[in-house]
Amino acid sequence: MIRLLRILFIWLPAVLALFPAYLALRLQIDWQANCAGGRDANPGYHVADCWDTERAFIYVIVLSLLLLLPAISFGLLRLLARQKARSGQDQPGQDQP
């Protein structure tokens, strides 16, 4: 049951974060093609469209990070637990029967 919950709440959002990451890449490519060089890049592309692309890019990056947050926190908590368990074994002065 815990394995199912781990998959559902940690790894599934991490995999779903790949889709906004892909969209962010596509938006970045679109921005480079149409907005990076100013008016010389694409004279028919309106400045408001560049702002829309930049704003969408920011939203998609935030969405990706929010979806990755459970996996990042889970990984950090596991790392801290391992370090704590490893340091507890080597404590001097503890008598072990």
pLDDT at 95 over 60: no
- pLDDT given for residue 13 in this prediction: 85
Higher-confidence position of 93 and 83 = 83
Q: By C-alpha distance, which of 67, 47, 66, 53 is closest to 24?
A: 53
State the maximum Cα–Cα separation within the chain, in Å, rounded to a whole number: 80
**11-43 confidence digits (pLDDT tens):** 888 888 889 989 999 999 988 888 887 767 778
